Amino acid sequence: MKQKFNITVADMQLSIVSDANPEEVEAIVGMLDRKMRDINLKSPRCTKNEAAILCALSYCSERLAAQETAKKLEKDCFRFATENERLKKQVESLKIELNGVREDNAVMRSVLSRTTNIPTPQEAPAKKQAAPATSSVSAEQLSVEIPAAAESGTPVVEESEEKSEKGKSRVGTMFDLLTFSDV
């Protein structure tokens, strides 16, 4: 509802009609009055009409700058909303992929546990007491001779000796020194 207000700006009495509440009108009048007084203090020869025009020009330029900023912010908001939607879709696809990997992991664990009887992560492994290792193997049996290279900087090519001992089963070619009876 429109109300009539009597205001004073730069010692000029005016009557205006506005839809705004009295607090808003006071705030606007206070800003306008301060701006016009600043212009009159900086340029004492400036008339009140010229100060009012300069003040209006200043507020119009500020409004245009605010409108440009608002347009830029709206574009940024739209761009960010689009980017947000794209990222949400990417997160959903990654969640689906993660669930697939987890299912594959569960299948592989079950296959592995069936073949090797390794406890799954849900099972708490029993703590084993470390027993002192006593062995009847002498130091001479444990020593391994490493051949030297013919020239420095060239790799050593090892000759594999295929000796099979009866009563011992080999674990693999990489573990020549380790047999089941040694363990």
What domain count does the chain have?
A: 1
The answer to which of 22-36, 82-96, 119-133 has the lowest mean pLDDT is 119-133
Task: Kindly state whether residue 21 falls inside one of the protein's structural domains.
Answer: yes
Question: Taking Cα atoms as reference points, which of 31, 86, 100, 40 lies closest to residue 59?
Answer: 31
Could you read off the pLDDT of 140-163 as tens digits, one per residue? 444 444 555 445 444 554 444 444
Show the CA angle centred on residue 50, arms to residues 49 and 53, nearest 5°: 90
Task: Kindly state whether residue 23 falls inside one of the protein's structural domains.
Answer: yes
Could you read off the pLDDT of 41-79 as tens digits, one per residue? 998 899 988 999 999 999 999 999 999 999 999 999 999
Task: Kindly state whether residue 51 falls inside one of the protein's structural domains.
Answer: yes
Task: Kindly state whether residue 45 falls inside one of the protein's structural domains.
Answer: yes
Query: pTM (2 decimals)?
Result: 0.46
Binning pLDDT at 50, 70 and 90, where does residue 1 land? confident
Task: Kindly state whether residue 106 falls inside one of the protein's structural domains.
Answer: no
Task: Kindly state whether residue 88 falls inside one of the protein's structural domains.
Answer: no
Q: Which residues of 50-75 are buried (b: 16+ CB within 10 A; e: fewer)?
A: ebbebbeeeeeeeeeeeeeeeeeeee
What is the spatial distance between Cα 176 and Cα 167, in angstroms, rounded to a whole number? 15
Bridge partners (DSSP) listed for residue 3: 18
Note down the domain range covering 70.
3-83
